[in-house]
Amino acid sequence: MRKLPIAVLAAALSATAVSFGAAAQSNNSAGTGLEVVDEAMPDSVAADVAAFQGYFRERFPEVEFDAYNDGVNALPQYAERRENWVLLMEFPPYEEHVERGREEWNTPFANGKTFADCAKDWPPANVYPVYVPETDDLRTIVGDINACLEANGEEPIKNLNNGKMARLVIAYKEQFNGERINVDVSHPGAAKWYEKGKEFYWTKRGQLNFSCADCHVHSSGQSVRGDVLSAGLGHTSGFPVYRTKWALGGKPLGTVHRRYGGCNRQVRASSFKSQGPEYKALEMYEAVMNTGIPLKVPSQRQ
């Protein structure tokens, strides 16, 4: 798990016909702090990352790499409304929820232990989802929180989408804000999960027949009526988020799987279970595509 900062990838991305695999091998970089990739990232995955990130670099040349964690707010097509968002962030609407999450994080279980005791053994938030060879499964922070509760004789949280679970995930992830997303896909089992998520991302589904990529790659920055479609790059970096649309329904916070479910239903597909294999794989793929983007948790979204 040695990490190396590579501006090399970045440099490769701006060029057109470059062998990305070769670029990822090179470890000498001269640029300003950009992507960080796992040295052991398989070449095919590194090439995917380079192609994905290069696409956005070309599509939105004025957007700084790190700014993608601001979601749609980073895009020039959203510039008119960006000012409102900047004002909103002076007193972020999620603050009270973050505070409450910290309290919950630090509240002892019946046995006197807290989440912090569990989290001492957890990987840093920026490397999730984490592949577990023994079970051929992916660890997510949501899963680890419930595992911690069960290990301490407490009831696991049933609602995996919003409320307390989202607050606790924020309480863990916010400790790693600024750390760059860097998921380990070096194990062949992890690569399988990655491929499964990649297939999900690019497959058209639902009555409206949209893939994730149709909107968030090919149409990113374009307007669907009054809304601007966000760029796929940066997607996972701010979750759980405070979403204004969700706030109107009284449940402002949501995990990334909650958002996936909403997206699937919007294209009139059936949604999958939160923390089920489909969304864990998708989270894996998106996180890998977001390699190098700094965490910014929670974030506000429309």
Partner 1 sequence: MLRFKGAFAVFGMAALAVTGTAVSPEASAEGWPTESQCRSVENPSVEIEGWCTAINRRQGNCLSCHTILVNPWPEGFPPGGNVAPPLVSMKQRFPDTEKLRAQIHDASQFNEHSRMPPFGKHGILSEEQIDAIVAFLLTI
Q: Closer to partner 1 by CB, 167 or 216: give it.
A: 216
- CA torsion 43-6-179-72 (nearest 10°) is -80
Query: Given the complex with partner 1, which of 3 and 218 has the nearer CB atom?
Result: 218
CB of 221 to partner 1, least distance (A): 10
CA dist 138 to 85, 131, 275, Å? Answer: 34, 5, 10
Question: How is residue 133 written in tokens?
Answer: 């060879």
Closest CA to 131 of 298, 291, 288, 274: 288
Site membership for partner 1, residue 229 (CB under 8 A): yes
Residue 222 lies near partner 1 (rule: CB under 8 A): yes
User: Looking at beta carbons only, is 132 or 208 nearer to partner 1?
Assistant: 208
- Which of 148, 212, 215, 263 is catalytic? The answer is 263
Residue 206 C-beta: closest distance to partner 1, Å: 9
Q: Kindly state whether residue 226 participates in binding partner 1, applying the rule CB under 8 A.
A: yes
Does 208 participate in binding partner 1 (rule CB under 8 A)?
yes
| 210: contact with partner 1 by CB under 8 A | yes
How many other C-beta atoms can be found within 10 angstroms of the C-beta atom of residue 191? 18
* 27 touching partner 1, by CB under 8 A: no
Choices 22-30, 35-43, 53-61, 212-220; region in contact with partner 1 by CB under 8 A: 212-220
Q: Which is nearer to partner 1, 14 or 266 (CB)?
A: 266
265 belongs to the binding site for partner 1 (CB under 8 A)? no
Q: Would you count residue 270 as binding partner 1 (CB under 8 A)?
A: no
Is 209 a binding residue for partner 1 by CB under 8 A? The answer is yes
Nearer to partner 1, 135 or 207 (CB): 207
**Is residue 16 near partner 1 by the rule CB under 8 A?**
no
Angle of helix 163-173 relative to helix 141-151, nearest 10 degrees? 100
Q: How many residues bind partner 1 (CB under 8 A)?
A: 14
Binding partner 1 by CB under 8 A: which of 17, 30, 87, 224?
224
Virtual CA dihedral for 295, 124, 119, 150, nearest 10 degrees? 80
Q: Does residue 80 bind partner 1 (CB under 8 A)?
A: no
Query: Residue 207, interface with partner 1 (CB under 8 A)?
Result: yes
Ramachandran class of 234: left when φ > 0, alpha when ψ lies in -120 to 50, beta otherwise: left
Binding track over 122-151 against partner 1, x by CB under 8 A: ------------------------------
- Name which of 89 and 263 has its Cβ closer to partner 1: 263
**Which of 43-51, 146-154, 206-214, 293-301 is the region at the interface with partner 1 (rule: CB under 8 A)?**
206-214
Q: Is 118 a catalytic residue?
A: no
**Catalytic sites, residue numbers:** 263
Binding interface with partner 1 (CB under 8 A): 207-210, 214-215, 218-219, 222-226, 229
